[in-house]
Amino acid sequence: MTDPTLELARRIMACPSVTPDDAGCMDILGARLAAIGFSLEWLDRNGTRNLWARRGTAAPLFVFAGHTDVVPTGPLEKWTSPPFSPEIRDGKLYGRGAADMKTGVAAAVTAVEAFVAAHPEHPGSLAFLLTSDEEGDANDGTVAVTEALKARGERLDYCIIGEPTSVNTLGDMIKNGRRGSLSGVLLVKGIQCHIAYPEKGRNPIHQAAPAIAELAATEWDQGNEYFPPTTWQISNIHGGTGATNVIPGQLEIKFNFRFSTASTPEGLQQRLCAILDKYGLEYEIKWTLGARPFLTGRGPLADAAVEAIRATCGIETELSTTGGTSDGRFIAPICGQLLEIGPSNATSHKIDECIAVDAPAQLSAIYRRILEKILLA
Active site residues: 69, 134
Other CB atoms closer than 10 Å to residue 303's CB: what's the count?
13
* CA quadruple 164, 168, 169, 175: dihedral, nearest 10: -40
Nearest to 106, CA basis, from 66, 137, 79: 66
* CA quadruple 357, 363, 366, 367: dihedral, nearest 10: -150
What sign has the CA pseudo-torsion 86, 87, 91, 94? negative
67, 109, 129 from 163: Cα distances, Å: 9, 14, 13
Nearest to 258, CA basis, from 225, 292, 282, 287: 292
In whole angstroms, what is the distance from residue 93 CA to residue 103 CA?
10
In whole angstroms, what is the distance from residue 143 CA to residue 331 CA?
8
For residue 344, the cross-strand partners are 166
